[in-house]
């Protein structure tokens, strides 16, 4: 339904993860795509005035393949979650020149809107630890699930973020956001009806 936006998002991911951060990611026809870009993936995107994606994150249920559970399980003390109420956020990124200054808070608000609408309890993520203070300033509650690992470009840790109406209200308030920012949240209702 959103092919142009998806292509723009994968181009942004190439610019951020391959070109800017020099991660060893797969780039196909100018698009950064990995084994977790599967039908179960949901994408939150932010678009500039020209319709180009300038920020995004990928959301995946932990009941199927996902990055923390299948690649970085060693970052979790114990077993990574496999729970329909816990989803993963990965490929959280933004174009620093085009995206709004409060883009991290906008994406986090979108994650919380999606999570509350879906009845989720939490998100997990493999994140650069420099994201922890950004998440706290935005009003969220990152909690490490284990140790850290040096990736060559940063230090990563597994994080858990609680999903609740309380955190949605707090993050919206700190970012000075009124109302829903996900324009097509109604599509979740259609998706549930089909399932």
Judge whether 139 and 180 are in contact, CB under 8 Å. Answer: no
pTM of the model: 0.91
Domain 41-194 has CATH 3.40.630.30: yes
Local structure of residue 51 (DSSP, 8 states): S
134-168, pLDDT tens digit by residue? Answer: 999 999 999 999 999 998 778 999 999 999 999 99
The helices-and-strands tally (H runs, E runs) of the chain is: 6, 8
pLDDT band with cut points at 50, 70 and 90 for residue 1: low
30: left (phi over 0), alpha (psi -120 to 50) or beta: left
- Mean pLDDT for 173-182 is 89
DSSP H stretches of helix in the chain: 3-13, 67-70, 103-118, 131-138, 165-175, 187-194
Q: Where are the domains of the chain?
A: 41-194
User: Quick one: CA dihedral 75, 169, 130, 18, positive or negative?
Assistant: positive
């Amino acid at each position: 339904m959103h092919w142009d936006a998806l292509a723009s998002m994968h181009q942004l991911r190439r610019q951020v993860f391959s070109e800017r951060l020099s991660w060893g990611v797969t780039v196909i026809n100018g698009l950064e795509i990995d084994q977790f870009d599967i039908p179960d993936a949901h994408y939150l995107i932010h678009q500039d005035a020209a319709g180009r994606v300038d920020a995004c994150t990928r959301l995946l249920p932990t009941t199927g393949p996902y990055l923390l559970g299948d690649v970085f399980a060693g970052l979790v003390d114990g077993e990574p979650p496999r729970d329909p109420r816990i989803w993963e956020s990965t490929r959280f990124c933004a174009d620093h020149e085009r995206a709004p200054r409060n883009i991290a808070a906008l994406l986090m608000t979108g994650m919380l809107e999606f999570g509350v609408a879906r009845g989720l309890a939490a998100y997990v993520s493999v994140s650069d630890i420099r994201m922890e203070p950004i998440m706290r300033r935005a009003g969220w509650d990152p909690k490490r699930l284990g140790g850290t690992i040096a990736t060559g470009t940063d230090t990563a840790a597994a994080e858990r973020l609680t999903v609740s109406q309380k955190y949605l209200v707090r993050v919206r308030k700190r970012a000075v956001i009124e109302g829903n920012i996900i324009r097509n949240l109604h599509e979740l209702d259609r998706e549930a009806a089909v399932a």
